Amino acid sequence: MDLTFTPEEEAFRDEVRTFLAEKLPSRLSDKIRKGQHLTKAEQEEWHAILNARGWLANHWPVEWGGTGWTVMQRFIFETETALVHAPRVLPFGLSMIGPVLLKYGSEEQKRHWLPRILDGSDWWCQGYSEPGAGSDLASLKTSAVRDGDHYVVNGQKTWTTMAQFANMMFCLVRTSNEGKRQEGISFLLIDMTTPGIEVRPIKLLSGDHEVNEVFFTDVRVPVGNLVGEENRGWTYAKYLLTYERTNIAGVGASMAAFGELQEIARTQRRNGKPLAEDPQFAARLARLEIDLENMKTTNLRVLVAAGAGAAPVAESSMLKIRGTEIRQAIDDLMRRAAGTHARPWIPESFEGGWNGEPVGPEWAGPVSTQYFNDRKLSIFGGSNEVQREIITKAILEL
C-alpha cells in the first residue's frame, strides 16, 4: 500500500506546474475563476499553447502526436491544470472523434483529420442526441441514404454543444431499419458548411448559449467520410465508454472549486461570524470535503487498476456519478454562501472586460448561474441513471 507519487511523477508534476506558471495567460485563468465565458479565439489560444508543448493530445499514441503519458501522468496534468483555473481541453476533437479515428478510422482518415485536430484547423461537435433519442440513444432517426458517392442526410440533432463554433460534426445516423436498432447506425463525419445544415441556438435556464439544435435537409456527405463500416457505428460510439475516462470525476476542478468555497466560508460573515463557524454550513462543508477526499482516493484506485490493464467501465460510472454529485454540491453551497446576493442576474458580468460594480461580493455574481448550468453534469455524458444501469449490469450482474 503506497499512496505517494513516484519521484518521476513528482518531477512530472513540477514540470507541469512550471509550464502552467510560464504559459497559462492570467487573462484566461482569471475568466475561468470568475465564471466568465471564453471566446472561441481564447479557447483556441489555449489549445495552441498546449499543442506547442506537445501536450494537447495527452492520451493519444506518440506516433500521432500524443504524449504517451501514463494514466497517472494524465491525472496529474488534469488536476494541476484545473487547480490553476486553466481552460479545459475541449473533449470533442481530442477525446471523442480522435480516439474513434485512431481505433476505427482508415489510414487516410487518420492522416487527414488527426493533425487538423491538433493544429486547430477543425472544431468538432458531437451529433448524437436527438429530440426523441436521449438516454435511449439507439432510437435515433436521423437518416443517411446512399446516393452514388454520397450519403444524403435528413433529420435533426439536439443538445449539440458549441455547434455554433464548429466546422465539423461526428454524427450517428441511421443507415438501416433492419434487425436490431443498434445494428442500423453508422458513424459519419459531416462538414458543417455543407448546404442544408441549419444551427439554431438553445438558450439554457442559466441564460447561457452552449448548446444548439442542428437540422439536416438533404445534406450530401461524401462516402469517404464514413468511419469504419456501414451499420457498425454503435460499436464505435460505445468504444468511447471504455476510453479516456481518467478525468470523468473532475477531481481537479472540484478541488479548485472547493478551495474557493473554503476561502469564502472563512471570509464571508453571517450573523457576525465567519460562515465556517455556522454549525449548519460547517456541517455541509465538512460532509462535502470528506466525500471529496474519499473520491480522490477512489479515483486513484481506478487509475491504478486502469494502469495495470483493466478497463474499468463500471468503476468509471461510479466516478461519473459521485464526481458530478460532488461538483453539484459545491455549486449548491456556493449559492447558499451568497445568501441574498445569489439573486441578482447581470449577464454582462459573465463576459470578459466587464467593468461594472458587482452587487454584493464579486464571487457571488455567477454562483446561481453556475449552480443551474451545472445541473447538466448529471444529465449529459450518459445521465447518472444510465451510469447506474451500467453499474447494475457490469458490477452487480443483476
Partner 1 sequence: MDFSLGEDRRMLADSLQRFLADKAPFAVRKTAAFEGAGWSRTIWGELAELGAIGALFDESVGGFGGSPFDVAVVFGEIGRALLTGPWLAALQAGHVLAAAGRTDDLAALIDGSRVIGYAEDEADSWFDPAAITTRATASGDGWVLDGAKTVVAFAGSVDRLVVVARAEAGLSTFLVERDAPGLTIRDYLLVDGGSAGDVTFAATPAILVGEAGGAGPVIEESRALGLIALTWEGVAVMDALRDQTLDYLRTRKQFGIPIGKFQALQHRMATVALEIEQARSAAINAADRFAGTRVERERAASAAKATIGKAGSLIAEEAIQMHGGIGMTWELALSHYAKRLVMIGHELGDEDYHLARYIELGHELADAEV
Contact residues for partner 1, defined by CB under 8 A: 1-6, 72, 266, 276-277, 282-283, 285-287, 289-291, 293-298, 300-301, 303-304, 315, 318, 321-322, 385, 387-389, 391-392, 395-398
- CB neighbours of 393 closer than 8 A, spacing ≥ 6? 314
Of the pair 277, 374, the CB lying nearest partner 1 is at: 277
Of the pair 38, 282, the CB lying nearest partner 1 is at: 282
Least separation in angstroms between CB 299 and partner 1: 9
Residue 357 grid cell: 460594480
3-state SS, residue 119: coil
How far the first Cα of the chain sits from its last, in Å, is: 32
Least separation in angstroms between CB 23 and partner 1: 27
Least separation in angstroms between CB 354 and partner 1: 32
Q: In DSSP terms, which residues pair with 151 in a beta bridge? A: 146, 221
Q: What is the largest CA-CA distance in the chain?
A: 75
Of the pair 357, 397, the CB lying nearest partner 1 is at: 397
CB 335 within 8 A of CB 367: yes
Of the pair 5, 372, the CB lying nearest partner 1 is at: 5
Least separation in angstroms between CB 304 and partner 1: 5
Rounded to whole angstroms, how far apart are CA atoms 54 and 48?
A: 10
Of the pair 146, 266, the CB lying nearest partner 1 is at: 266
Residue 184 grid cell: 442500423
Residue with cell 461570524: 273
Of the pair 173, 265, the CB lying nearest partner 1 is at: 265
CB 25 within 8 A of CB 42: no
Least separation in angstroms between CB 337 and partner 1: 16
CB 270 within 8 A of CB 339: yes
Least separation in angstroms between CB 336 and partner 1: 17
Amino acid at 38: L
Of the pair 4, 340, the CB lying nearest partner 1 is at: 4
Least separation in angstroms between CB 269 and partner 1: 15
Of the pair 65, 381, the CB lying nearest partner 1 is at: 381
Residue 334: which of 26, 27, 35 has the closest Cα? 35
Least separation in angstroms between CB 266 and partner 1: 7
Residue 305 grid cell: 487498476
Residue 98 burial (C-beta neighbours within 10 Å; 0-12, 13-18, 19+): buried
Rounded to whole angstroms, how far apart are CA atoms 366 and 347?
A: 9
3-state SS, residue 75: helix
Rounded to whole angstroms, how far apart are CA atoms 146 and 141?
A: 16
